[in-house]
Structure 1
């Protein structure tokens, strides 16, 4: 019998104490995986719809075959695995700043880990996504999917904030191929000011509201997925 809460991993990171735990849903017995950073509740396998829609909506805007996709933020792996479900994806690189998170998947601790790491198209890279985007482009990507911060206004680290400016998005766009797509997950409702900034850099920029059933509240919750296509 598994304890209601089981700590699968705990590590001290440069951003604070990081914990991966799982618990059994008392009603269904389902295993639910949760990640906390210090006192912040980051993610749960109870809520994966918006993470999956980040990949679905982002890649729906991409054109061509043999897509080269970059994911910023590994987390529980649902965005990356959903992207791999698109047969056009030839290469998928996931960048995460925390080696502990990469290690979870390499050790296959999470429900989608095996599907992710056993796919030959996948590369997991320990790096600072935001620093990479500020740097000179190397391989250009057909799509960049980002799920790290809570929203453009609520970042996990102050050093991330510059990405969500016009200058930061312009730097990111240099890492995209022609007609490449940038898609971003946000926990906040659509932000008109950020959408205006996105539209200054990308064509056909829009905010998609993603609704999902919230089993904790018994109601419906919403996230936002922003999508822009490179000019």
Structure 2
């Protein structure tokens, strides 16, 4: 069996996006990876923190019929985890890249197969940050989960920067119902300065550390999940 296979590639306004599959000798399993230019966007090697984004966001949500929006489809772990909550009646996933949406519609990933075909799911090709910036959302959602940039100060594109300002976070809060929940994934340790920014937009804001075993290093690794609630 081949240890490395390029499954798809596409030219995008952001650069060349490539989907590949390789067999990892340490974890002894197939791993899907996505690169955008020279930047690694996502991997299926470790998915605890992506799932934790959905778990923590939904745990903080009230109500029995929840509308959820996910900014950033990626390999689908956050969105797929959200669908495991029976309270979710509608899931809208926004991604800027047609190729990423196509991979899910073609059901290329065993771990998240069924995400695109679930009747609760709508996949939307759009610039999530422009959607927030312009307030183009037709109806507010109960939960807004975002996993696009690496961290609030480590961006895929510089024009995402305004999302992490006070006004950007207030625009995100306006996308929520009155008691709605905002969740954000970060690949860096908790940033107190960003929590302070969130607290100027949300009634509550806190940073959670998601820890997972990392056999590649022989230790553990972490990611940060920021959660804010609207009054």
Q: Please tell me the TM-score bracket, short chain as reference.
A: over 0.9
**The residue matched to 1:183 in structure 2 has which SS?**
strand
| Per-residue deviation, 1:25 | 2.3
Write the deviation string for residues 177-230 of structure 1: whole angstroms up to 9, x where unpaired: 011000000001000100000011112210000111112212111100000001
| Per-residue deviation, 1:40 | 1.1
What RMSD over aligned residues (CA atoms) do the two structures have, in Å?
A: 1.1
- Superposed, 1:1-231 pairs within 5 Å as 1=1, 3-26=2-25, 29-136=28-135, 137-231=137-231
Task: Give, in whole Å, the separation in 1 of the partners of 2:54 and 2:148.
Answer: 14
| Per-residue deviation, 1:128 | 0.4
Task: Give, in whole Å, the separation in 2 of the partners of 1:97 and 1:180.
Answer: 24
TM-score, normalising length: structure 2: 0.97
Write the deviation string for residues 137-172 of structure 1: whole angstroms up to 9, x where unpaired: 411100000000000101101111001100011111
Gaps of 5+ in 2: none
Task: Give, in whole Å, the separation in 2 of the partners of 1:220 and 1:113.
Answer: 24
Number of aligned residue pairs: give it.
Answer: 230
**The residue matched to 1:116 in structure 2 has which SS?**
coil
TM-score, normalising length: structure 1: 0.97
| Per-residue deviation, 1:11 | 1.1
